[in-house]
Structure 1
């Protein structure tokens, strides 16, 4: 009896001490957290911490996350928790300068009304962020996307930076093409997004006040402008440059002694002259002129998300890009710069002579030739690293400038036509957003631009060659059917009678038209069957992998249970020895 009483008193005292410790001392202990992830995805980078250290006035962040939204999947809900955890890291690292408000807006509530009023996306339930600062305008992220998880830290840091510096960034433009005429939409967006300064094409020095520069078709610029561009980059300026072997936006006046190729070589790359990129997988339809039929153009490419570097801020929120008559970036043998591809072709691509595109009748042969290449080409890339000058003696009697740079930051795009209205308006694409994203990143301060993506998982690289092999097998068999379908559509458009009145149409029993209608129905069905056949091995392999991953744990548990059962049965059945 006494022992039971003593034990009860001991447990009571221990419980009281534990409760007192939690109430009094737990809040005084330091907040210690460990990040065991390989890429440290739960830890803010030093650049972000440097950015937060510069906060001079408090900010309010309102995180709207609809936890009970019926359209929100489990993976998105887990991602929403990941966003919340990272926002709490921002709040803790800001030393009281960030006030985080986590809101779960119920349907038809006042919080949901405010979120909609502020422009947050409610397509699959709210998952957005609003930032406010006293005396300044609001900044927002309409909706966080799990696809952009590697850039999550950059997105939040960019919103905080814009709250601190609401004025637009300054960007200069130096163009050898008439962008105000052929790329009016881009120019309008750039003027609204940046403090844009347009430089003269014969400039001899980029003003020291400019930190970011966009250059379009330097082949049409004078050599003194090339010298100004090089010295600007060597002084620490950041550059986005568009170079096209054959530009469709205007005639080019190329200097005979142009040193552009030498300058690119000093940066570790080269762009083959008069070579156009053909891609049989990404080729899209185009009209060669007014009144002419639509054809499958081998050099008019529509790049999907798979053709982009998903871990670079330049491709943030992009789904597709359109390029036309583009070239390709090749690395030189002796290069010292870091070469990071941003846009790439498929493996069914090749560089072909520009003269071969003179006649549309050769397009089918060009597509067939490109489909057997098996090598990806780089259309846009980011260059970082040391470089040397191609003007060791200066220019035009001026004293020599900087001869080398320890680190340059340049984004090179082997196409100018993606800027043109004719290309950006032809199909739905994100060409303008690609330019704005890249210039935004280049114009950002080091504390923001140096934030690198956190790659949370490794892709299953075994499937990538299988996907490409399936795509190539499909394209090889489907190319002829697609061309037949294209010709059938054109013939049907010519023979199909036009509407004669409101909601009326002449019924034509023409035998040829009926045959074309049958072809228009049959060919898509054959293409669908070919695609299913080409991707069948890949789908079967993926299904088997999923079944294996799903069945592994139950099978292991069953095996353990069976072994346990056998062990217990042996013990029960073993004879008992009597002395």
Structure 2
């Protein structure tokens, strides 16, 4: 039997059976995946799976990748393979709702024209004059006008690759633009500037928001947030009524997402009244805002009487002395202040804030607070009164003493919470009692007019009263709220410069404040599955053993290089000594001793340079040797393991048979 099995015909039959089994297994387990990477790079998150399962339409993913132009760039080729494999996972998980097209836009081809038409970016490849594409186009199969584009899939953004793709798929397939409910006590839509005594236009941050989303102004007094609102944007909730705060509370515990900007000293608040109301808080009244009852229910707090001061991030402003002074309350947040693991802040460069507060979380809080923006440790919380009518910013330093704590300026709050109104909906406000006979007469006349108006209305004209929703005592799912302890960062003065160019207003941003707002809104208007997708691990992981070999080689290289420099210095010193000993015409001619010294140095230089080359060559040999060992392990380990299992199985059977 054994001889027939190992005959030519037997081997041929065995090979054929193995091939058929391989094809059958690959087809049978086509959708099966085993992800052995440390960060599960090839496994879609649960949020992405849920998002794909709930897609209402179909879309086409077109991955434009210049394969023919990047043959000599293994780094880009490996990353393109990573992107392709991830897109394949999307198609597989979508159950037919997505399809993938991988397109090579070769030079002077129709595919290259198509890539340029979609707005993809061609990246130059060194000094060769060649360019390469690696962009993604996602199009709605039923509506060609709905299309999203990633101009170039940069490897540096790999950690957010899944989030970016999921966000665009969701954006392309969803039916309408997200709707934002705006609640603000500030003149975000334009008004009258008390300081310049000129009409002021809408804030640029809100204007660009209206270009991308449908923004509905809800006012400051309402009983319920409309059901079609995807995100509630609250800016400076100063002295909101119980009814309005209750509506915000019920919206959040009912599963709605909220973005809230509060402030201990909103410099843009001009509600103080009087000619100088816009400039002087002390004469114009309180300029702070907070939602203490709601914040307490959400497990956070913000002291509206404290302003965050940071000596490291302080920006320079003018002073009475005429020289620039660093203002402890006007801060320029840099990359060290951002959470690089969150998609909202990962790619920001700088954000400017003014007299901001700090978001804190008590120790017994049941929610999770994820920091998005924070100060340095060279900071403290100062009384907001110190910033009232402040003429000389340098005076703040006499009260400044760093606490060594990093304070939070913006945070994402998630978790299960109870309502801030356990007794239910607040009662309707009662009409105030008339203070005089004249007031009573006015009230009586108004009531008569109202009764007459009611009498004239017919039943057909009467509108049915809409029943208010029932009270929600606790959240049915984790809330998702972002709280920012500053409103001034939304104002134009902290992030854009406006210039008039032949009658046309040119806006030039100098900070990322507007990007921060768009990122927050963009993230929160997505569904819960999209928001749950966080940054992933890096595909290009460090090879620790190779890095160690390189470090050892560099150490030897620098050692030899230092020897060469020392030899050169010694030779130069000896040549100078020999030159100083010569006189007259001999000074113009090299002596035999100098020639011998130069020749000795040249020979020593050649010897050390050879040693340097040997160090580099040995490094390449060590890395190649390590690679060969890994290849042998990868090639032989699995067959060897299978052989050992087969031998063990055979030995066990023989023992059982003869035992």
Aligned match of 2:560? none
- What is the aligned partner in structure 2 of residue 121 from structure 1? 121
Q: Which residue matches 1:205?
A: 224
Instruction: Return the offset for 1:252.
Output: 5.0
1:331-342 map, 5 Å: 331-342=361-372
Question: 1:400-415 to 2 correspondence within 5 Å?
Answer: 401-406=471-476, 407-415=478-486
- For 2:207, the equivalent position in structure 1 comes to 188
Shift of 1:374: 2.5
Counterpart check, 1:230 vs 2:246: no
* Equivalent in the alignment of 1:96: 96
**Deviation for aligned residue 1:66:** 3.2
User: Which digits, 9 at most, give the CA deviation of each residue in 1:513-556, with x for residues without a partner?
Assistant: xxxxxxxxxxxxxxxxxxxxxxxxxxxxxxxxxx9xx9899499
Aligned to 1:145: 154
SS at match of 2:163: helix
Find the residue that maps to 1:404 and give its secondary structure: coil
**Which of 494, 504, 518 is the aligned partner of 1:423?**
494
Match of 2:293 among 262, 277, 285: 262
Q: Which of 402, 426, 438 does residue 395 from structure 1 map onto?
A: 426
* Change beyond 3 A, Cα 1:146–1:5: closer
The residue aligned with 1:83 is 83
Deviation at 1:368, TM superposition (A): 10
Q: Does 1:175 align with 2:191?
A: no
Q: Residue 416 of structure 2: SS of its match in structure 1?
A: strand
Q: List per-residue Cα deviations over 1:337-368 (Å, max 9, x = no partner).
A: 11111111122222222343454644386399
CA distance in 1, matches of 2:357, 2:240: 19
> Conserved in 1, the CA contact under 8 Å of 2:266 and 2:288?
no
Q: Deviations over 1:382-439 (max 9, x none)?
A: 1112333343444234899434335322110001011111112156222222222222
3-state SS in 1 of match to 2:48: helix
Mapped to 2, the partners of 1:281 and 1:148 lie a distance apart of 29
| 3-state SS in 2 of match to 1:405 | coil
3-state secondary structure, aligned to 2:252: helix
Bigger drift between 176-185 and 15-24 goes to: 15-24
CA 1:293 to 1:224, structure 2 compared with 1: closer, same or farther past 3 Å? farther
* Inter-partner Cα distance in structure 2 for 1:71 and 1:239: 48
Shift of 1:177: 0.6
Shift, 1:86, TM fit: 0.7
Q: 1:198 to 1:14 in 2, by over 3 A?
A: same
- Partners of 1:151 and 1:311 within 8 A in 2: no
Q: How much does 1:4 deviate? A: 13
Give the alignment partner of residue 349 of structure 1, picking from 348, 358, 379: 379
- 1:16-31 → structure 2 map (5 Å cutoff): 16-19=16-19, 26-31=26-31
Aligned residue for 1:271? 302
Secondary structure of the residue aligned to 1:240 is strand
Q: Does 1:298 align with 2:350?
A: no
Q: Structure 1 residues 115 and 258, CA, compared in 2 at 3 Å: closer, same or farther?
A: closer
Deviations 1:204-237 (A, max 9, x none): 3322332420000112433432222112212222
Contact map agreement 2:338 2:346 (CA 8 A) in 1? no
Q: Which residue of 1 aligns with 2:532?
A: 450
- So what's the TM-score if we normalise by structure 1? 0.71
Q: CA 1:260–1:84 in structure 2 vs 1: closer, same or farther (change >3 Å)?
A: same
1:85 to 1:232, Cα distance in 2 relative to 1, 3 A: same
Unaligned runs of 5+ in 2: 125-131, 191-200, 273-284, 430-467, 498-508, 543-614, 630-659
Structure 2-normalised TM-score? 0.63
Q: Residues 424-475 of structure 1, C-alpha deviation per residue, up to 9 Å, x if partnerless?
A: 2156222222222222222222332333333449999xxxxxxxxxxxxxxx
2: distance between equivalents of 1:151 and 1:250?
37
Tell me if the contact between 2:237 and 2:290 (Cα under 8 Å) persists in the aligned partners.
Answer: no
Q: Secondary structure at the match of 2:413?
A: strand
Shift of 1:77: 4.4
Paired with 1:27 and 1:193, the residues of 2 have a C-alpha distance of 45
Structure 1 residue ranges without an equivalent (≥5): 461-546, 562-579
Extract structure 1 runs of 4+ deviating beyond 6 A.
3-6, 70-73, 253-259, 457-460, 550-553, 555-558
Give the number of aligned pairs: 468
Partner of 1:435: 517
| CA distances 1:293-342 after superposition (whole Å, capped 9, x unpaired) | 65433322222233222222322543322222211111123311111111
Distance in 2 between residues matched to 1:392 and 1:327, nearest whole Å: 28
Q: CA deviation at 1:173?
A: 0.3
Q: In structure 1, how many angstroms separate the alpha carbons of the residues matched to 2:484 and 2:134?
A: 34
The answer to which of 427-436 and 61-70 deviates more is 61-70
Cα RMSD, aligned residues only: 4.0
Cα distance in 2 for residues equivalent to 1:555 and 1:449: 42
Cα gap change, 1:73/1:9 in structure 2, threshold over 3 Å: closer, same or farther?
A: closer
Q: Is the aligned partner of 1:379 residue 2:406?
A: no
Structure-1 separation of matches of 2:94 and 2:422: 47
- CA distance in 2 between counterparts of 1:288 and 1:152 reads 47
3-state SS, counterpart of residue 271 of structure 1? coil
What residue in structure 1 maps to residue 137 of structure 2?
Answer: 130
Query: What's the offset of the Cα at 1:135?
Result: 3.5
